[in-house]
Amino acid sequence: MNDLSRTGEVALGIIGTILNVILLIIVTLAVFSANALNTTEVQNMIETEIMADPTLTQQEMEYTKDILAGGMDVVGVVGWVFVALLLLSVILSIIAVVKVSKNKSPKTAGILFIFAGLLSGILLLAPILFYIAAIMCFVRKTPVHYVEDPYYRTEAETETHTTTTPHQPL
């Protein structure tokens, strides 16, 4: 039996998953530290910097403070969304690696690799590895296992076996 090895897909999937986990840890720590900052202290620092600018009017100062307060809230929400997307990408890539390593359903693994790549970002290294693994899953064919037929002989086997009755043309 000639088994088709899916080592390339598995290796790319594992490397991409490890890179995604590292990015997930970094982003999670960044979001935690951004949320742990005392926002009132940061806003007070920014307000003192804004007040020190003599060219700004009172209305511009208020507008700038409102934008900064809203921006800090948006950064927290976007950070947690990015963490959730990375976590989902890691889960999908682990499932894809398991599916392709067992060589049961490489097409499904390819689809999961594509979704994992889309969820983890577009121009990072991990999604590119996932896309390459997905292409390999789709392109490489699983071998067809033939059942040996006792009545079927190849040309080489036919030449070595002699029959008792000569072949007569019709």
pLDDT digits (tens, 9 = 90+) for 141-156: 766 656 665 666 666 5
CB contact set of 36 (below 8 Å; sequence gap of 6+):
none
Q: What pLDDT, in 10s, does the model give residues 74-91?
A: 777 888 999 999 999 999
Q: Alpha carbon of 152 to those of 149, 155, 158, 170: distances in Å?
A: 5, 10, 9, 22
> In the Cβ-directed half-sphere of 115, how many Cα atoms lie within 13 Å?
17
pLDDT of residue 69: 72
Q: For residues 134 and 110, is the Cβ–Cβ distance under 8 A? A: yes
Residues in the chain: 170
pLDDT surpasses 80 at 98: yes
pLDDT surpasses 60 at 2: no
Q: What is the pTM of this model?
A: 0.68
Residue 78 in tokens: 């976007």
- Higher-pLDDT residue of 4 and 66 is 66
What is the distance between the alpha carbons of residues 163 and 170, in angstroms, rounded to a whole number? 18
Q: Alpha carbon of 42 to those of 18, 27, 45, 51, 53: distances in Å?
A: 35, 21, 5, 14, 17
Nearest Cα neighbor of 134 from 115, 119, 149 is: 115
Where helices occur in the chain by DSSP H, the ranges are 7-36, 39-52, 58-101, 106-120, 125-139, 155-160
Largest Cα–Cα distance of the chain, in whole Å? 112
What is the distance between the alpha carbons of residues 26 and 19, in angstroms, rounded to a whole number? 11
- Higher-pLDDT residue of 156 and 71 is 71
